[in-house]
Amino acid sequence: MNPLPQPVSINLFVFFIWIFVGALGYPLLQKRETLLKPLALLLSIGSILLAYSAFLSLLSGTDYRFTVEGGLPGLLFHLHLDPLSSFFLLILGGAGTGVLLFSGGSLHAMSPRKKPGFFLNLSFFMASMEGVFLADDAYLFMIFWEAMALFSTFLVLTDRDRSEVRDAGYLYLLMAHFGSLLIMMGFFFLASREPSGQVQFLESLTFNAMATSTPSTGLSFLIFLLVLLGFGAKAGLIPLHVWLPRAHPAAPTPASALLSGIMLKTALYGIIRLLFGLLGLDHLSATWGIPLLLTGGLMALFGILHALLQSNPKKLLAYSSIENIGILFLGVGLAILYFKSGHPVAGEIALGAVLYHAINHAFFKTLLFLGAGTIIHASRTNDLNAMGGLLRRMPVSGGLVLAGILFASGLPPGNGFVSEWLLLQSTLQAWILSNTLFRSAVLLGAALLVLASALSAMGFVKFFGIGYLGIPRSEEAGKAHEVSFLELTGMGWLAGGCLLLAALPLTLLKGINHVIRSLTGHVFPDTLLSGGWIWIRPISAHGASYSPPLLLALLLAALPLPWVLLRLLRKPSTRTSPAWGCGYSVRTPRMQDTADAFGQPIRHFFPFFFAMKRRIPAPDEKDPLLELSVEDPHWPYLFRPLLRLFVRFSELADRVRTGRISVYLVYSFVTLLFLLSVLRWM
C-alpha cells in the first residue's frame, strides 16, 4: 500500500483525533469536570491543524483520490480531497476552532449530568461534517450525512427537559430525514442511469462513475429538483426553513453556532458537488437558474424581514441565516444562468462570490451566535426587551460582537461587503444576456439583494443597540459580567478571521480559482487577480475596482481624527453638562426604544410577509391593551393544514386495525394478489 499524501494523512489524523477525544472525554468528564478545558484545547488544536492543511491544499490545487477498506462487499470507502472539499474543510477547521475554544469556557455553566454527553456529540458532530466533505461515494456520503443529522439532533436536545426543546428537536430531525430521503433518491437516479462503460452497480455509487454518465433532459431536471429540495431542507430553503428559528434558540450556544455557521454550508457543498461536479454543466439548463435565482432573492428578503421582528437574539440570527442562505442560492442560480447562456466570466464571478460569502458567513455568524449566547447567559433572559446596558459591563465581548456586526452588515471594508460586492458585480453584467427574460430575472435578483443587504444592517443595529446600549432594562442585566478568557479567545479567533477575510480577499480568491476550475473548467479572468494583494480589478472596462487593504488602512487612520479635532478646537472656557433628557432629570428603562417597537415599521410596510393576528380589547376591560401576534405564515397556511390532513388520514387508517387475525390474513392475501397482478403486467 502506497503511503498517503501529507494533506490526506493530516485530514484522517484530525478525524480520528476528534473521534478519540470525544469518546475518551465522555467517561473522563463524568469523573473530573476540570478536564474540560484540556480536552477542548485538544479538539481546537485538531481544528487548527485541519484549517492549516486545508488552506495549503486549496492554494496548491490538491486533488487526491484514495480508498479505505471497510465498505460493503465489493465497495471500498472512497475518499476525495480536491479544491472544493479543501475549501469547505477550511470553513470547518477555521470557524470550528473558535467554537471549540469557546466551548472550553462556556460549558462550565452546563449541568454536570449533560456536560459529558454534549462534549461527545460535539466531537462526533465535527468528525461527521469532515466525513461529508471527504466522501467520494454515495454510500459513505449518506453514512456521514445521517451521522451529522443524528449528532446535531442530540446537540439540539441537550436541554430536553423542556417541552419546546423536544418539539424543536423532533421538527429538526423530521426535516433532516425528509431531506435525506430526497438526496438518496437523487443519488439513485445518478447511479442507476446507463454509464458510459461496463460498471457494476456498487461501483456506480462512486462519484467518479456518476460524473461520467449522460442522463436525459427530463431525468436531469428531476435530479436537479431532488438535489435542491433535499439539501435545501438542511440549508433552510423556504418553505423547509421552519426548523431553523426553533432549533437554533433551543440548542446550547456552541451547538447553535455550529448549526448556523458551519452545518448549513454542508448543504451548499452538496448542491455544488452534485450540480456542478456530478450532474455537470452539460446537463443543466439556463432556465433552471431563474427560479433558483428568484427564490434565493425572495428568501433573503423574507429572512431579514422576519429577523427584524424577533426579540430573541438567537431567533433573530437564525432568520438572518435564512437571509444569507438565500443570497447563496441567488448566486448559484446566477452562475447556472450565466454559464449556460454562454457567458462564463460572469458565471465564474457569481460562483466565486457564493464561495467567498459562504466562508464569510461561517466566521461572522458563528461569532454573532457566540455573542448572543454570552448576553443570554449574562442577563438570564433570551428577550432583548429585558437587556440593555451590557456593553459597559461586557466591554471586550461586546466589542468583538460589534466587530462581527460591522463585518456582517455588508458595509465596506468588512468581509461581508467583499462577497456581496462581487455578487453585485456579476448581476451588473445582465446587459450581456440576449434574452429579455434572463435580463429581467437578474435585475430583479439584484434589487432583492440590495434591499435585503440594506435591511440586514438595520437588523444588526437592533441586535446591538437594544441589547448592548442604553441602560439595563432588568435587574439581571444590571448584574451582568464579562465572560471567561477561553470564551473571549474563541470570539477573538473568529473576529480575527473576519478581519483577514476583509483585508486580504485576493489570497483566498486564488484558492477559489482552483475550485472553479475543478468544477467548470474555467478560471477567473486575468484582470480580476492582476492587482496583487491590494486591488480587485474590474472584470470589464466599465466595472469598478476595490482595494480592501487600502480602505481598511484609511479607516483605521481616520478613527482618531474626530478626537484630535475636538482636542484642538476645544476652548478653555468650554462647559460640560449632562445630555438633555427631554425634560426628565432621571432616565428610566421605559424611556428607551424596545425590540418590538423597532420592528413596527417593517410590519407596516411589509404586512404580506407575516401572519398577524390583532385583538382589540373591549371598552369595558379593566386594563385594555391591544394584543398583536406575528408568526411565520408558513405555519398557519401550509404546515398546520398538512398536519391536520395527516392526523385525519391516520384516524381513517386506524379503522383498519380490528385486532382480529383473520381480518389481517385477508388484508395480506388481497395485497399479495394485487402485487402479483401488477408484476404480471410489468
What is the widest separation between alpha-carbon atoms in the chain?
Answer: 103
The residue with greater pLDDT, 541 or 289, is 289
Distance CA 124, CA 15 (A): 9
Q: Is the pTM of this model over 0.85?
A: yes
What is the β-pairing status of strands 611-615 and 64-68? Answer: unpaired
Cell match 492543511: residue? 53
Distance CA 20, CA 127 (A): 10
Q: Which helix (H) or strand (E) holds 611?
A: strand 611-615
Q: Strand pairing partners for 81?
A: 64
Which pLDDT band, with edges at 50, 70 and 90, does 679 fall under? low
Q: What's the rounded mean pLDDT across residues 47-71?
A: 89
Distance CA 57, CA 272 (A): 19
Query: What does each C-alpha distance from 443 to 296, 428, 429, 430 come to in angstroms?
Result: 13, 8, 9, 7
pLDDT over threshold 50, residue 197: no
**Cβ–Cβ under 8 Å, residues 259 and 361:** no
Output the nine-digit C-alpha cell for 600.
Answer: 413596527
Assess whether the previous peptide bond of 116 is cis (omega < 30° from 0): no
Output the nine-digit C-alpha cell for 275.
Answer: 450540480
Q: What's the rounded mean pLDDT across residues 426-455?
A: 91
Report percent pLDDT > 70 for the chain: 91
**Which three-class secondary structure state does DSSP give residue 114?**
coil
- For the CA atoms of 295, 298, 303, 307, the dihedral, rounded to the nearest 10 degrees, stands at 180
Query: What does each C-alpha distance from 657 to 645, 662, 666, 672, 675 come to in angstroms?
Result: 20, 12, 12, 19, 21
Distance CA 54, CA 133 (A): 11
pLDDT over threshold 60, residue 417: yes
Which pLDDT band, with edges at 50, 70 and 90, does 552 fall under? confident
Residue 585: predicted pLDDT: 64
Phi, psi of 65 (to 5 degrees): -115, 135
Residues 6+ apart with CB under 8 A from 533: 504, 506, 507, 549
Q: Please, what's the b/e burial string for 622-636 (b: 16 or more CB within 10 A of its CB; e: otherwise)?
A: eeeeeeeebebbbee
Looking at this protein, which amino acid is placed at residue 202? L
Q: What is the pLDDT of residues 502-512, one digit of tens each?
A: 988 889 999 99
Average pLDDT, the chain: 87
**Cβ–Cβ under 8 Å, residues 207 and 519:** no
pLDDT over threshold 50, residue 259: yes
User: How remote is the C-alpha of 353 from its chain's centroid?
Assistant: 15
Q: How many CA atoms lie within 13 A of 353 on its CB side?
A: 32
pLDDT over threshold 70, residue 106: yes
The most confident of the ranges 2-11, 51-60, 472-481 is: 51-60
- For the CA atoms of 94, 100, 106, 112, the dihedral, rounded to the nearest 10 degrees, stands at 160
> Lowest-confidence range among 136-140, 153-157, 178-182, 295-299?
136-140
Which pLDDT band, with edges at 50, 70 and 90, does 67 fall under? confident
The residue with greater pLDDT, 564 or 150, is 150
**24-32 CB contacts, 8 Å cutoff, 24+ apart:** 25/116, 25/119, 25/120, 25/123, 26/116, 26/117, 26/119, 26/120, 27/116, 29/115, 29/116, 29/119, 30/116
User: How remote is the C-alpha of 450 from its chain's centroid?
Assistant: 20
Assess whether the previous peptide bond of 7 is cis (omega < 30° from 0): no
> Lowest-confidence range among 179-193, 297-311, 316-330?
179-193
Which pLDDT band, with edges at 50, 70 and 90, does 34 fall under? confident
Residue 402: predicted pLDDT: 94
**Cβ–Cβ under 8 Å, residues 389 and 465:** no
Query: What does each C-alpha distance from 194 to 105, 134, 197, 275, 368 come to in angstroms?
Result: 54, 26, 8, 18, 48
**Cβ–Cβ under 8 Å, residues 458 and 308:** yes
Burial of 640 (0-12, 13-18, 19+ CB in 10 A): exposed
Q: What's the rounded mean pLDDT across residues 341-353?
A: 92
> Lowest-confidence range among 203-207, 223-227, 364-368?
203-207
The residue with greater pLDDT, 78 or 152, is 152
pLDDT over threshold 80, residue 72: no
**Which three-class secondary structure state does DSSP give residue 666?**
helix
Residue 460: predicted pLDDT: 92
Cell match 478571521: residue? 497
Q: Please, what's the b/e burial string for 368-384 (b: 16 or more CB within 10 A of its CB; e: otherwise)?
A: bbbbbbbbbbbbebbbb
Beta strands in 40-161 (DSSP E): 64-68, 77-81
- The closest of 138, 144, 365, 124 to 258, measured between CA atoms, is 365
pLDDT over threshold 60, residue 464: yes
